[in-house]
Structure 1
Amino acid sequence: MTKKYIVELTQQEKADLQALIRKGKGAARTIRRSHILLLASDGKADALIAETLHIGVRTVERTRQKFVPTHRLRIPQEWNL
């Protein structure tokens, strides 16, 4: 089955997320979502992302679902997901 929500990030978006992660001062939820989006944009499977980050697969699915329709980095300012 084809994934319904495919995460595609520009180089700038990836750089912004990586900077946010490196800074390490954001909310844990925001940093975790940033990790999810970066891994998803690299084509990793939801199960692998969940295992890597020690979270549930459903968390990965919800993050994809909420990010893809709104996209265009409103991260993290408007991330009240």
Structure 2
Amino acid sequence: MAKKYTVCLTALEIEKLQTVIRIGKTKARTITRARIILMSNEGKTNEASANCFGVNVSTVARTRQRLAIGKHASW
């Protein structure tokens, strides 16, 4: 299945997401979404991300979609 929304992050965005994950003071949901986005940036499929983090494939797809259309929270 082709990816409908591709993720292409800048170095600054990657650094911010890694900081969110490393500090660990945010909600678990936010950390999982940050990990999904980073994995998507590496070119992994929705299925691979879902299996890795124990979430549904639709969660990964929605997270990608929100990032692509700009509805994601600022990191």
1:46 aligned partner, one-letter code: N
Give the gaps of 5 or more residues in structure 2: none
Deviation per residue, 1:29-66 (Å, 9 max, x gap): 11111000000000001100000001110100010111
Aligned-pair CA distance for 1:75: 2.5
Paired residue for 2:33?
33
Provide the aligned length of Structure 1 versus Structure 2: 75
Paired residue for 1:15?
15
Deviation above 4 Å: which 4+ runs of structure 1?
Answer: none
Percent identity of equivalent pairs = 41
How well do the aligned residues superpose, as a CA RMSD in angstroms? 1.6
Paired residue for 1:61?
61
Paired residue for 2:74?
75
Give the gaps of 5 or more residues in structure 1: 77-81
Aligned-pair CA distance for 1:4: 1.8
Which fold has the larger relative contact order, with Cα–Cα distance below 8 Å and residues 6 or more apart in sequence? Answer: 2
Deviation per residue, 1:5-52 (Å, 9 max, x gap): 101100110010001100000011111110000000000011000000
